[in-house]
Amino acid sequence: MVDYRAFDSTPWSHMKVRTRFAPSPTGFLHVGGARTALFCWLFARRHGGTYVLRIEDTDRERSTQASVDAILDSLAWLGLEPDEGPYYQTERFDRYREHIDNLLSAGNAYHCYCSREELDAMREQQRAAGEKPRYDGRCRDRSSPRDGVEPVVRFKNPTDGDVVVNDLIRGEMSFANQELDDLIIARPDGTPTYNFTVVVDDLEMDITHVIRGDDHINNTPRQMNIFEALGGELPAYAHVPMILGADGQRLSKRHGAVGVMQFKDDGYLPEALLNYLVRLGWSHGDQEIFSREQMIELFDLSAVNKAPSAFDFEKLQWLNQHYIKARTPAELTTPLSEQLALLDVSVDQNIDLTPIISAQHERAKTLREMAENSVYFFEDFEVYEEKAASKNLKAAALAPLCSLRQRLEGIEDWTAEPIHDVVVATAEAAELKLGKVAQPLRVAVSGRSFSPPIDITLEIVGKTRTLSRLDQAIDYIKMRE
């Protein structure tokens, strides 16, 4: 076991680091979220701290159980399970209510009875006067309720001074309180709003480092003001830049896979995606390959890029190929059988997939590709790859294929070595180059022009199937002549 604390030399080494990943369960976990989770996890590991998962499910219309499940499955697949949680915000309404009451009684929040019409008129006036539309605080000093109106609760934001965020990635950012109006923290039905629940949770969960996407930057000064009003010690903030597609636009579905589980279905290994994500915006010299231990040892928020980074599928494939090679064939049998199942190929539980994997181990960029290239090991086919057939299944191949069929039928011990000998002997007897025999044979048994070495391919396909596929190819040539 590595003692992660041993690497600790940072100013917060005296405190117990606590990070949180706080997704809203309104869709799948996309790569941006997964990277945030990874950074939260790494930072906690690096400093011997705790990584908390909090499900921000207060938007009841948009939050779904299916999405919660997708988040938990994705984190489990990536090996980023939380040390603590998941906590669910919908189970914490009492806590939010109590803090709202406290703010009201301390005079740090107030009831606002303004109607929609009033607010619209106010904004209209501000616009007309060339000002930025904002709530002007007119209910701050109201002492009596308005009959028949359920009020919202607004936070009394300080009216002067600046909020300075010392962001661990972006450096110092300053926001004038003048620009921040009094945020609604509870709706008329008493339910708390997003920015408020985040602060209560970060406070009560003793979060020391808020690491999140930079789409939250504008929330940060508001949240810091609420934090101070609640009497909490401010956490440190780190805003991670967004991920773009190759076209410079924010990464979205139209760029291809963005949901973590989609990468699994597309045949990527979790260690490849993690390695890809850690390098997306973070670097350590020009090193590309990082084991989990190395990531933990080397990760540092100050080395995270301020600029957005673009998602590069080719690089992810390159890493995936690296990690496919790094696993033994035995360690790839489960993901390969999952891929075959996705292709609706039924594979007998007892079949040993390792020879199929060994045969393709060096070449496959994804397990999907490996599975697609393995279908003929399990299923017969009637259609050949067009080019492969027109080049190889023609009259000249008829005699060698017939001779091969006869010799192969005689093999008792159906293994690569005697198969190899038969292929060589057939070529020699016909005075043909090995390729002139092996390639038509390959197309006959696999339907395509690429396969693992021919003797290994035949061994895996099996004797009965090999012979019947040879018959099929012989008929095919005869029919076309």
Residues that bind ligand GLU (CB under 6 A): 22-24, 56, 198, 212, 216
For ligand GLU, give the closer residue by CB, 5 or 62: 62
Residue 70 CB, shortest distance to ligand GLU, in Å, is 13
Coil/strand/helix, residue 234: coil
d(CA 158, CA 227): 12
* Rama region for 85: left / alpha / beta (φ>0; ψ in -120 to 50; rest): left
Q: Which letter does DSSP use for residue 205 in this model?
A: T
Active-site entry in 16, 253, 325, 387: 253
Residue 212 CB, shortest distance to ligand GLU, in Å, is 3
CB 114 within 8 A of CB 139: yes
Residue 302 CB, shortest distance to ligand GLU, in Å, is 20
Which tokens is 108 given? 């740090």
Burial of 279 (0-12, 13-18, 19+ CB in 10 A): buried
For ligand GLU, give the closer residue by CB, 301 or 445: 301
DSSP string covering 410-456, please? T-SS-SHHHHHHHHHHHHHHTT--HHHHHHHHHHHHHSSS--S-HHH
End-to-end CA distance of the chain: 68
For ligand GLU, give the closer residue by CB, 166 or 218: 218
365 among known catalytic residues: no
For ligand GLU, give the closer residue by CB, 24 or 191: 24
For ligand GLU, give the closer residue by CB, 242 or 398: 242
The 10 Å Cβ neighbour count of residue 43 is 23
For ligand GLU, give the closer residue by CB, 24 or 64: 24
Whole-Å CA distances, 358 to 237, 254, 379:
47, 35, 19
For ligand GLU, give the closer residue by CB, 56 or 459: 56
Which tokens is 299 given? 């990760």
Residue 101 CB, shortest distance to ligand GLU, in Å, is 23
CB 364 within 8 A of CB 321: yes
Identity of residue 369: E
Sign of CA dihedral 138, 140, 143, 144: positive
Return the percent helix, strand and coil in the chain, to nearest 5: 50, 10, 35
Residue 45 CB, shortest distance to ligand GLU, in Å, is 19
For ligand GLU, give the closer residue by CB, 71 or 427: 71
Whole-Å CA distances, 244 to 25, 37, 253, 257, 272:
22, 18, 11, 13, 19
Residue 108 CB, shortest distance to ligand GLU, in Å, is 21
Residue 37 CB, shortest distance to ligand GLU, in Å, is 10
Residue 79 CB, shortest distance to ligand GLU, in Å, is 21
Pick the closest to residue 404 from 363, 453, 441 (CA basis).
441
d(CA 181, CA 138): 11
CB 404 within 8 A of CB 426: yes
The set of catalytic residues is 253
